[in-house]
Amino acid sequence: MKEFAGSSGLVLNEPLLFDRGKRGRCGMSLPRRDVDHFPVDEELEGRGPDFPDLAETEVVRHYTRLSTWNFGVDTGMYPLGSCTMKYNPKTNEKQAALAGFAGAHPLLPEELSQGALKMMFELERFLAEITGMDAVSLQPAAGAQGELAGMLVFHAYHGSKGRRRSKIIVPDTAHGTNPASAALCGFSPVKVGSNDRGVLSVEAVAAAMDEDTAGIMVTNPNTLGFFEENIRGIVDIVHAKGGLVYADGANMNAVLGMVSMGDIGIDVLHLNLHKTFSTPHGGGGPGAGPLCVRKHLEPFLPTPRIVEEGGSYRLASDFPLSIGKLHAFHGNVGIMIRAYSYILSLGPELKRVSQLAVLNANYLKEKLKTILHLAYDRPCMHECVFSDKLQAPLKISTLDMVKRLIDYGFHPPTIYFPLVVPGAIMIEPTETECKEELDLFVEAFREIVKEAGENPELLHNAPWRPKVRRLDETSAARNPRLTCAGVINGERKS
């Protein structure tokens, strides 16, 4: 048997900081006070939070130990389907830390922010060229905000033609956020099913499209990992009824340099810089979901926009049809620098990123389909979807198998999504995993499937090796406990 990354290790325990420390202990020294004492307004006074008194070693070890409980793409393979957990090159961090960027302040005047504005302007041009679209706004802070911005553009576009439309077509293979974004903007999402090849048919869209429908949101490639091969026909039908076509670009990692979304008739597209362009996902931290549009929709983009005149850059808000401002200041600029660094590092090699991402997914698909049920047996793009159908008679579920995967040192793939495949296991290896790592992943799954037959309890109670064992997700959802034990409103209760 091969040696797996997860097969050994020392997991250090670490209590809460509130359980550490001693009164009077201190990890820092403040400069001597050299101004007179001045009392603050009594109304502003009160008891501060009861923070523990800690030494520097205690604080450093605390967070270092906590970090070892974590699993990230720097730790190992993280094949979360549709999330594109690719490696984040360290050079991106270096560029973002350059003094001119790191020290920039959003309230500096334009003449002192030319470097940052130029970077943003050029990033917009790069993203437009990569997608085949005409104009870009970097403001949206995440994919879902990009989608919402796209829906606001739909609404503003129809409004400018003096009409209101109430519906949006969303296929069952779209990202889960799509119907939510449409609904948040006041549209009613209309679900359209994919066909037996896992893609949308022209006929299904034709049957749903009417003159009360603002357009369609297509995730392309879709969440089954297939390119929507009928997209041209679908675009024609939607356009013929006066609708617009939105493409969720979250899966762009499969088609960089190969598909021009503008040329196939897409009107609006969002990108996830934290997926396709190698910026950190950040545990719910800053992302970026730039919005790309064709020429006829440029007037509706969020403001302020970056304008270049004679080699200098300024922010302009004089766009009367704009949907307005979506984010404080200019969006998550630190993330933009990282994506800019990635694009400049790879240049035309970006096409190879997609080729390798697709190759890796197809390699895994072929290797795993002998042991797992493959939902649609046809060449895939950047991800492939299996299910627990072969293991179900053994009472082994998708959840059991992927929890066991943790013991082998891999992050579980996306599970139970897309909904069109019951018990889905959606695997996206990305281009940054080498063949040896993919082989190890296949080997781990092979072992797990063997264990499913020989020792099902091993899977039912997995994982065994990480710091935290199988969590009771049901109790956590039914009876959530939202306060830390012993600490209420920042104060310790014994």
Chain positions contacting other proteins, by CB under 8 A: 388, 392-393, 395, 397, 399, 415-417, 419, 422-423, 473-474, 477-478
The answer to whether 184 touches 148, Cβ cutoff 8 Å, is yes
Q: Which is nearer to other proteins, 170 or 350 (CB)?
A: 170
Shortest distance, position 155 Cβ to other proteins, whole Å: 23
Shortest distance, position 399 Cβ to other proteins, whole Å: 8
Strand order in the sheet with 135-137: 135-137, 291-293, 268-270, 244-248, 213-219, 167-171, 188-192
Q: Which is nearer to other proteins, 101 or 416 (CB)?
A: 416
DSSP lists the bridge partners of residue 292 as 136, 269
Backbone angles phi, psi at 269, to 5 degrees: -145, 140
Shortest distance, position 473 Cβ to other proteins, whole Å: 4
Shortest distance, position 282 Cβ to other proteins, whole Å: 25
Q: How far is CA 492 from the centre of its chain?
A: 36
Shortest distance, position 454 Cβ to other proteins, whole Å: 20
Q: Which is nearer to other proteins, 64 or 475 (CB)?
A: 475
Between CA 164 and CA 169 the distance in angstroms is 15
Q: Which of 456, 463, 133 is nearest to 271 (CA)?
A: 133
Q: Which of 124, 128, 187 is nearest to 154 (CA)?
A: 187
On the question of a cis peptide bond just before residue 418, with omega within 30 degrees of 0, the verdict is yes
The number of beta carbons lying within 10 Å of the beta carbon of residue 64 is 11
Shortest distance, position 190 Cβ to other proteins, whole Å: 12
Shortest distance, position 166 Cβ to other proteins, whole Å: 16
The answer to whether 278 touches 87, Cβ cutoff 8 Å, is yes
Shortest distance, position 482 Cβ to other proteins, whole Å: 15
Between CA 344 and CA 350 the distance in angstroms is 10
Shortest distance, position 476 Cβ to other proteins, whole Å: 9
Backbone angles phi, psi at 414, to 5 degrees: -70, 135
Q: Which is nearer to other proteins, 71 or 417 (CB)?
A: 417
- Rg over CA atoms, the chain: 25
Between CA 299 and CA 456 the distance in angstroms is 59
Q: Which is nearer to other proteins, 174 or 323 (CB)?
A: 174
Q: How far is CA 349 from the centre of its chain?
A: 23
Instruction: Give 336-383 as a DSSP string.
Output: HHHHHHHHHHHGGGHHHHHHHHHHHHHHHHHHHTTTSEESS-S--SS-
Which three-class secondary structure state does DSSP give residue 131? helix
Q: Tokens standing for 142?
A: 């995440």
Question: Amino acid identity of 105?
Answer: H
Between CA 472 and CA 461 the distance in angstroms is 11
Q: Which is nearer to other proteins, 71 or 416 (CB)?
A: 416
Question: Amino acid identity of 288?
Answer: A
Q: Which is nearer to other proteins, 179 or 287 (CB)?
A: 179
> For residue 372, what are the contacts with CB-CB under 8 A and spacing of at least 6?
386, 387, 388, 390, 425, 445, 449
Shortest distance, position 332 Cβ to other proteins, whole Å: 29
With residue 425 as reference, give the H or E element that holds it.
strand 425-427
Shortest distance, position 424 Cβ to other proteins, whole Å: 10
Q: Which is nearer to other proteins, 122 or 212 (CB)?
A: 212
Most distant CA pair in the chain: distance in Å?
79
Q: Which is nearer to other proteins, 189 or 257 (CB)?
A: 189
Task: Quickly tell me which residue has 């004492």 as its tokens.
Answer: 37
Q: Which is nearer to other proteins, 156 or 184 (CB)?
A: 184
Q: Which is nearer to other proteins, 179 or 302 (CB)?
A: 179
Q: Which is nearer to other proteins, 10 or 477 (CB)?
A: 477
Shortest distance, position 189 Cβ to other proteins, whole Å: 11
